[in-house]
Amino acid sequence: MIDGYLLRYFLAIVENGSFTAAAARVNVTQPTLSAGVAKLERELGVSLFVRSARRVELTEAGARFLQRARNIMQEYNAALGEIGEPARRRALRLGLLHTVPASIGERLVRDWQSIDGANGLEIVEGSDAELVTRLDQGRVDMALTLMRAGTEKYSPVVVGEEPYLLMLPEGHPLAGSDPVPSDALHSTPMVVRRRCEVLSEVSRHFTGHGVRPPLAYRTVQEERALAMVAAGLGVTVMPASYSAPGVVQRRLSGFDRTRTLAVLQSPVAMALRSDVSRMTSLVQEALRRHPAPSRTIP
């Protein structure tokens, strides 16, 4: 029988891309992690990883074993949830996409806490890939994230679709244009959102128009990026659900990307089905009540 900790080591390496990051993730030293992987490979009789100085990749056998390992951990985590807390229902664990506005998260918390008899709520932030991994592992019960190909197994409920818009300071010379010509931004400083899901596409869009704007600021914090735009430091591209005083939203000529938000449910969260359904309704209401972006030209 394979020990559960060996599967955790294996999955941590896959998720984090290196032995060093995986060891930190599971709170062990790298030699301990390496010894555990070697033991797992001996028990399976195959090599699971191709190791090089730069990266770690799955072997063909490792790729075949990956889904089996995920399934085993799902069932294990589900069993722990059912056996470990029989006397009371545990908190609902909600995964929240990094790039969902903080105001929406705040509204969800307030609305959930206003429900009589509601269980506790735990929120975990992450990228869309990280949240899907947590769903697979049973570490979150549901997630508000992007609708992507391959998410059908999570019983997705589409809750909204929005365009990506150009955010400018309200006094910017181009604030009166809609759409804003891409080539007009050649000398305008750019605020870079490192967690932007379409960052590479935005970069290719500007490059395709012969525009290489100077980079004024880089951040992983969405609201801080918007604050810097309001202060006049530069412009950025963000989902339309973001707004702030002093910032105007305009279409970017030739850039018509949109994103679809959906609530995904963990395959092992059946015991919390009613809570997941209730939170899904709150998400739909929060997005419906969220201020709609204004594109009115001053």
> Which H or E run contains 275?
helix 273-289
Confidence (pLDDT) at 87: 39
CATH number (3.30.450.20, 2.30.300.10, 3.40.190.10, 3.40.50.300) of 92-160+259-289 reads 3.40.190.10
Say which amino acid occupies 43: E
Confidence (pLDDT) at 79: 66
> What is the pLDDT averaged over residues 267-295?
78
Residues 34 and 19 sit within 8 Å (Cβ to Cβ): yes
Read off the pLDDT of residues 14-46 as tens digits, 9 standing for 90 and up: 888 888 888 887 888 989 989 999 999 999 999
Q: Which of 119, 130, 67, 49 is nearest to 96 (CA)?
A: 130
- For residue 161, give every residue at least 6 positions away whose Cβ sits within 8 Å of its Cβ, in sequence order, or none: 258, 259, 260, 261
> What is the pLDDT averaged over residues 197-221?
93
Say which amino acid occupies 27: N
Residues of the chain with CATH 3.40.190.10: 92-160+259-289, 163-257
CATH architecture of the domain covering 4-84: Orthogonal Bundle (1.10)
Confidence (pLDDT) at 183: 92
> Confidence band (pLDDT; 50, 70, 90) for 282?
very high
Of 72-81, 151-160, 192-201, 251-260, minimum mean pLDDT range: 72-81
Residue 167 and residue 191: Cα distance in Å, rounded?
A: 10
Report pTM.
0.70
The neighbour count for residue 53, using CB atoms within 10 Å, is 4
Residue 86 and residue 84: Cα distance in Å, rounded?
A: 6
Q: Tell whether the model's pLDDT for residue 85 goes beyond 60.
A: no
CATH match of 163-257 with 1.10.1740.10: no
- 3 state SS of 148: coil
Confidence (pLDDT) at 241: 94
What is the average pLDDT value for the chain, to the nearest integer?
87
Residues of the chain with CATH 1.10.10.10: 4-84
